[in-house]
Amino acid sequence: MNKEKFINEVEKIGISLTDIQLHQLDEYCKFLLEYNSHTNLTAIKEEQVYLKHFYDSLTFFKAINPSEFETLLDIGTGAGFPGMVLKIVFPNLEVTLLDSNNKKINFLKELTMKLNLTKVNFFHGRAEEFCIKNREKFDIVTARAVSNMTVLTELCLPLTKVGGYFIAMKGSNVDEITEAKNAITKLGGKVERIVEFNLPSEESGRNIVKILKEKTTPKEYPRRYEKIVKSPLK
Ligand code: SAH
């Protein structure tokens, strides 16, 4: 996807980018490829950054408008997807980028300085650890390509404010979403909508699950990571 096509496709979802934002995305792309040449952050090639990372991150807007909220937490953000892209395009948002891999967090810190961004916080560590001091604190919690829906729900919903949203950016497998329904209810959430679509110029299916945090999450969740993975909530 070249830049013109990118701008076009993004407009179709209702987002018009300013020159400053386009410039920032350009810098982001260059810095990512340069950093990637010595530190392996992501498997992607140049021509795919705009489609697979930037465009895909912005499809978030199909489910929810971030400008209506103040804080967003991106769990397992990797090289900043979708959190950093959303920060650039919705600059008023206070974004927290969390990853257990420190080289990714370091990349994001450098990028934030390069782009002169403010209101960006970082956490190097696991989502379950972060939850100890940050329970039910964020208006929006999101994650893309981190783990299956049941595990993800236990990592993300305890961090979501009551009245806020957990937005899961998933691939085409709807079965794992159905399987997670009980976990979602148990942890205080309710599926409000599932937005299903294909990425343009390839047949790659996507599902964005929009979950409203209706009630507070019982204190015993999240459990320790080994438990979360070994005995997923039924
Ligand atoms: N969201 C990014 C990265 C996906 S790769 C993207 O869509 O491109 C998954 C990332 O999640 C990795 O960087 C890994 O370090 C991180 N991760 C996995 N489980 C985690 C956990 N429990 N807490 C924090 N980070 C986690």
% of the chain beyond a pLDDT of 90: 88
Residues with CB under 6 A from ligand 1: 75-78, 81, 98-101, 104, 126-127, 144-146, 155
Residue-level pLDDT at 46: 65
Tell me the mean pLDDT in the region 128-148. Answer: 96
**Which residues contact residue 68 at a Cβ distance below 8 angstroms, ignoring those fewer than 6 apart?**
none
Ligand 1 atom at shortest distance from the alpha carbon of 57: 7
How many helices (H) and strands (E) the chain has is answered by 11, 7
Residue-level pLDDT at 2: 82
> Does 39 have pLDDT greater than 90?
no
Distance 128 CA to ligand 1 centre (A): 13
> Does 155 have pLDDT greater than 90?
yes
46-55, 58-67, 93-102 — which is least confidently predicted?
A: 46-55
**Separation between Cα atoms, residue 200 and residue 180, nearest integer Å:** 28
pLDDT: is 202 or 25 the higher one?
Answer: 25
Distance 61 CA to ligand 1 centre (A): 21
Of all protein residues, whose CA lies closest to atom 11 belonging to ligand 1? 76
The pLDDT confidence band at residue 3, using thresholds 50, 70 and 90, is: confident
Top mutation candidate among 99, 108, 129, 224 for ligand 1, by most atoms within 8 Å of CB: 99
Distance 80 CA to ligand 1 centre (A): 10
Distance 33 CA to ligand 1 centre (A): 19
Distance 147 CA to ligand 1 centre (A): 8
Distance 77 CA to ligand 1 centre (A): 6
Note whether 72 and 96 are within 8 A (CB): yes
**Residue carrying the six token digits 């465009």:** 55
Tell me the mean pLDDT in the region 203-216. Answer: 95
Ligand 1 atom at shortest distance from the alpha carbon of 99: 25
Tens digits of residue pLDDT in 72-114:
999 999 999 999 999 999 999 999 999 999 999 999 999 999 9
Of all protein residues, whose CA lies closest to atom 23 belonging to ligand 1? 126
Residue-level pLDDT at 37: 84
Distance 19 CA to ligand 1 centre (A): 30
> Does 43 have pLDDT greater than 80?
no
**Which residues contact residue 134 at a Cβ distance below 8 angstroms, ignoring those fewer than 6 apart?**
73, 159
> Does 181 have pLDDT greater than 70?
yes
Of all protein residues, whose CA lies closest to atom 24 belonging to ligand 1? 126
Could you please report the per-residue DSSP string of 135-196? TT-EEEEEEESSS-HHHHHHHHGGGEEEEEEEEEEE-S--HHHHHTHHHHHHTTEEEEEEEE
> Does 194 have pLDDT greater than 80?
yes
Residue-level pLDDT at 8: 93
Residue 133's CB is within 10 A of a number of other CB atoms, namely 8
